[in-house]
Structures are given as structure tokens and as C-alpha cells.
Structure 1
Amino acid sequence: MHPWYWQNWQGLPYLTCSLLADWSHGFFTQHFWSRSPETELTQVLHTHASGYRLKQVHGNKVLTPAEISTQLQQAQQDTDNNSTWASADGLMSEQPLQALWVASADCTPVLIADTKTGNVAAVHAGWRGTAAKIVPQAIHKLLVGGSKLADLRIAMGPAIAGEVYQVSKKTAVEVGASILHHEDEEAMITALQGFPEPPVLSDEKPGHVRLDVRRVNYLQMEMMGISGEQIAIAPYCTYQTPEHFFSYRRDNLKKVQWSGIVSHEVNLKSS
């Protein structure tokens, strides 16, 4: 199990993971939520980095900063589209000192780093994005960019825990279809509950179960050939930790917490 550590910036706490110790990164608490990720929060991580964020849409698209520029330029040519941010749920760096940010409010923030290239990715994985395999999509994009599976390190930040995340069986089946196949809904639910550390738990409400989205993402990565030693899961539930994290399921308010990571140069002699 990889240790997690609390850091402090001007009296405000944020969380880091030992697995990503070589990268400036942080899973920020709700106390930072009104600060700009592109400017203020990026400065917390690295004073010379450029910050990037997205308009998150619960999909599985992953963009690079160059692709963001292209999308925004195209949007400017469309008089009906005055978007400030590109629409996607994942970011991948192309060069050093790019700070990538995702927002979450029960969904899973996933930070990925490559020990050999120094490249990073940041992913917003809600249940819809997880059903659409956004984390494998981000990993595939890193592989196309020259990464190797064995060199990746992945940290999943604070998110709503399966023990308290009640969803319909239909939702659980949609997410579960990303890791196994069953035509029958009940057979799918039973199969998911039969996994070691099952991603689906029973619920007292008819037609509902409890869903562990982070566990499904873990299983997706495991099926790609990524080992458990390469993955860390934060020991915090947004719903059950109100002193640190905002939870949309708990509070039903439009607030978020930000998670970010900065790419860097790699000294090839030491790698």
C-alpha cells in the first residue's frame, strides 16, 4: 500500500501520494475550490508551469494542450460557440511543465505519470466516464505517445466510496459492462458481486446496489496488464469526509475540488 500525505499551503490542506513523489501534484480539498486551477493552483505546484483545464462532460475524450488550442480555435470560428474551455474529461501532457487539472465532486480524479518520459495525464472518471473506459483511453493515448505500461504510476484520489454510493442496477450494469459481459442484468450483478473486493455491493432499496467506481477503474487497468504495485487509491471518501472534501451526493451544491499534476524533464542517465 502506497502512503498518502497531507501537505499545507497558506494554512490550506491538500493530499499527495508517495507513488507520484517525483511529480509536483496534489489532490486539493474543497477549501481551494474558488481558486483558479490554471493560475493560482498551478503556482502551488510549480511556479513555472502552464495550467490547463477542461469543460468536463462525463465522456471519455482525452486531449493534449495542442488539441485544446485547436478545439478552441475552431470554436471561435463558430458564432454560436463561445466556449472558454475545450470539452473533454482527460488531459495528457506533451512537454515538461504542463500542469493538468481535473475537477471532481464524488467522481474519481485519476493522476497518471510515466517514470521514463516524465509525461503525465489527469482524468475525471465519473460512472459514465468509467463505463466508457476513460482511464484505459488515457493510458492508450500515453502508449501511443511512447509510454510503456510498466513505466506508468497511477493515483486515484478521494471519491465517493462504494459502501455509500447507491445507484440503480441499470447504472451498475452499464459500468460493469466495461469489465465483463452478461446479457442478463441479474447475472451481471451476481458476477460483479463475486469479484474479490467486489465493485458492487448489495443495497436495501429494491432495484439498487452500491457501486465502487474506483474499484472498477482498478480492474480495468489490471485487465490492461498494469500491476497493483503501480496503482494507489486514496483512503478517503468524499461523502464521508466533510471536513476536507465536497460531495455532490451529500450536499447537492455546485462546488468541486481540483486535482493536478505537472509534467517534467527526465534525466535519462538516472532512469
Structure 2
Amino acid sequence: MHTWHWRTWNDLPYLTCRLLEPWKHGFFTQHFWSQPPTRLTEILHPTAQVYRVKQVHGDTVLVPSEVEAMAASAGNLSPTDELPPADGLVTDQAGQAVWVCSADCTPALIGDVVTGHVAAVHAGWRGTAMKIVPGAIARLQSQGSQLQDLRIALGPAIAGEVYQVSKQVAAQVGATVVSTSPDDVDETLVALRQLSDPPVLDDPEPGRVRLDVRRINVLQLEQLGVDAEQIAIAPFCTYQNPDNFFSYRRNHQKKAQWSGIVSK
């Protein structure tokens, strides 16, 4: 718990992570839902440029210059125009605020202690099956980042103990961290259960299991060569904490909480 800290703005709570102390950042709660990223950025860093994308549960990661180029080519005249489809943003200059929203999916904020670049990633089960967080790290590496310099915080998301999915979905996601084919569902699930701190748990309903998506992301990162001490997981479940977080699985409402970080 000491890694995560509750902060307040106008008596409204949001979370920060000790690993990301060098950067202005926040995992905002449902209490901020009426505040768009432009307003939330003012809380963190009033002069930062604000970037977000249209999240589509994919694996595309963009840099702000690409977002701006897409907006220009589309003839967008205002921030309310169509956003480019993507699920991750990696900064390419200082003073850029990048944002993602989530309601059960994993919000991942990443910072490089040497370059100052940061990333914000929306990693649901589909994005995790496509290894979007390693994809964001690959973009950081293309800009000069070294793995040992990264700090990664996985924010509030639905916990594995309550996230029921089909065995097929669990196998598709789990095949990214074990040497089996996602087509062989049973073999993949057996391999996942043999891992330390298994990312799948039994479910009483036939054909279903419980899936810990954040644990899968940690395993993907460790297989890249990221040390466990460079990663922090928020000890909060969106589904089980209705006072602070929206949960689509719980309420089936299209509402979410924002998570953002500002580059140095």
C-alpha cells in the first residue's frame, strides 16, 4: 500500500504511485467524471499540451505528432472533432499530457527516468492479448529508452478474483505468456495454472474461469526483461469499490475514470 497514495483536489480523491513521483500524474476516480482531460491536466500541469485518442480495444500506440498529423489531414478544427483510433500514447517532447480512460480495463502509466518520456495505455483483455503494453515500450525504446530506466504503474482495474471470462478468452490472453497455442485451450489453461501466482482461477460456471489481466501484463513485462521492482499494481478493484470507481461489469454504464501523466 505504501507505493500508492491518495491525493485530493477540491476534496475529490485521486491516486498517485511512488514509482512515478518524477512526473505529474494521476489515476482519477469516478468523482472526476465530469472533468475532461483538458481540465484534469490543469490540476497536474497547467501548461502541458493535452492528448487523448478514441479507444478501440486494439494495439495501436501513437505519439502526439502523429495525433496532430492525423487531425490535420482529417481537417479537424477543434478538440471535439473525431479523435484518431488507438489505445496508447507515447510522448515525443516535454510538457505533453497523455490520457486514457478505463472502467474495468487496466490503465497503465509508464515513465522513463532518463529521457523523461512517458506513456499512457488502455489495456483491456483484447489489448493485452495483442501485447499493447510491450508495444508501447517498444515505441519508447525506439526513442532511446532503456528497459531498466522504465517505471510502470498499473492502475485500478477489475481484479482477477471477480473477472469471469470464457476459457477461450483466458487462453487467448494467456497464450502471450506461455508456450502453447491459444487454439489448445485446455493446454494453455493448464500451463497458466502452473505459473507462480497464476493469472487464472477456477470459476463454478462450466466453460468459465477468472482472469487476472493485470497479472498477465506483469508477466509480459517480466518476459521482456523488466524487473518486478519497476512495476506497481494498484491494490484497488474497480468492480469491488463502487464508492470510487466506475465498473462496466458491475453497472453496464458507459462511464470511465481518467488516468494521465505529463512528460518532462
TM-score (norm 1): 0.93
82-91 vs 215-224, which moves further? 82-91
User: What's the secondary structure of 1:209's corresponding residue?
Assistant: strand
Residue ranges of structure 1 left out of the alignment (5+ in a row): 265-271
What is the identity, as a one-letter code, of the residue corresponding to 1:36? P
Give the 5 Å matches for 1:83-122: 83-122=81-120
How far did 1:2 drift?
Answer: 5.7
The answer to whether the aligner puts 1:25 opposite 2:59 as a matched pair is no
Query: 2:204 maps to which residue?
Result: 204
Query: 2:166 maps to which residue?
Result: 168
What is the identity, as a one-letter code, of the residue corresponding to 1:123? V
Q: Which runs of 4+ in 1 moved over 6 A?
A: none
How far did 1:180 drift?
Answer: 1.7
User: What's the secondary structure of 2:75's corresponding residue?
Assistant: helix
How far did 1:84 drift?
Answer: 2.1
Query: 1:253 maps to which residue?
Result: 253
Query: 1:189 maps to which residue?
Result: 189
User: What's the secondary structure of 2:138's corresponding residue?
Assistant: helix
The answer to whether the aligner puts 1:7 opposite 2:11 as a matched pair is no
What is the identity, as a one-letter code, of the residue corresponding to 1:252? H
Tell me, in whole angstroms, the C-alpha distance in 1 between the residues paired with 2:2 and 2:114.
20
Tell me, in whole angstroms, the C-alpha distance in 2 between the residues paired with 1:3 and 1:105.
22
Query: 1:61 maps to which residue?
Result: 60
Tell me, in whole angstroms, the C-alpha distance in 1 between the residues paired with 2:10 and 2:246.
20
Identity over the aligned pairs, expressed in percent?
Answer: 60
User: What's the secondary structure of 1:76's corresponding residue?
Assistant: coil
Tell me, in whole angstroms, the C-alpha distance in 2 between the residues paired with 1:170 and 1:2.
36
Query: 1:44 maps to which residue?
Result: 43
Q: Is the 8 A contact 1:48 1:97 kept in 2?
A: yes
Tell me, in whole angstroms, the C-alpha distance in 2 between the residues paired with 1:102 and 1:142.
17
How far did 1:157 drift?
Answer: 0.1
Give the 5 Å matches for 1:221-236: 221-236=221-236
Tell me, in whole angstroms, the C-alpha distance in 1 between the residues paired with 2:101 and 2:129.
18
Tell me, in whole angstroms, the C-alpha distance in 2 between the residues paired with 1:106 and 1:141.
25
How far did 1:75 drift?
Answer: 2.7
RMSD after superposition:
1.3
Number of residue pairs aligned between Structure 1 and Structure 2: 259
How far did 1:74 drift?
Answer: 2.8
CA deviation string 1:24-77 (max 9, x = no partner): 00000001112110x100001011111111100000110011000122223339
Tell me, in whole angstroms, the C-alpha distance in 2 between the residues paired with 1:193 and 1:36.
41
CA deviation string 1:191-232 (max 9, x = no partner): 111111101111000000000000000000000000000000
How far did 1:257 drift?
Answer: 0.1
Cα pair distance change 1:83/1:175, threshold 3 Å: farther
User: What's the secondary structure of 1:182's corresponding residue?
Assistant: coil
What is the identity, as a one-letter code, of the residue corresponding to 2:173? V
Query: 1:268 maps to which residue?
Result: none
Tell me, in whole angstroms, the C-alpha distance in 2 between the residues paired with 1:43 and 1:204.
47
How far did 1:173 drift?
Answer: 0.7
Tell me, in whole angstroms, the C-alpha distance in 2 between the residues paired with 1:46 and 1:194.
45
Tell me, in whole angstroms, the C-alpha distance in 2 between the residues paired with 1:217 and 1:155.
11
Tell me, in whole angstroms, the C-alpha distance in 2 between the residues paired with 1:243 and 1:191.
36
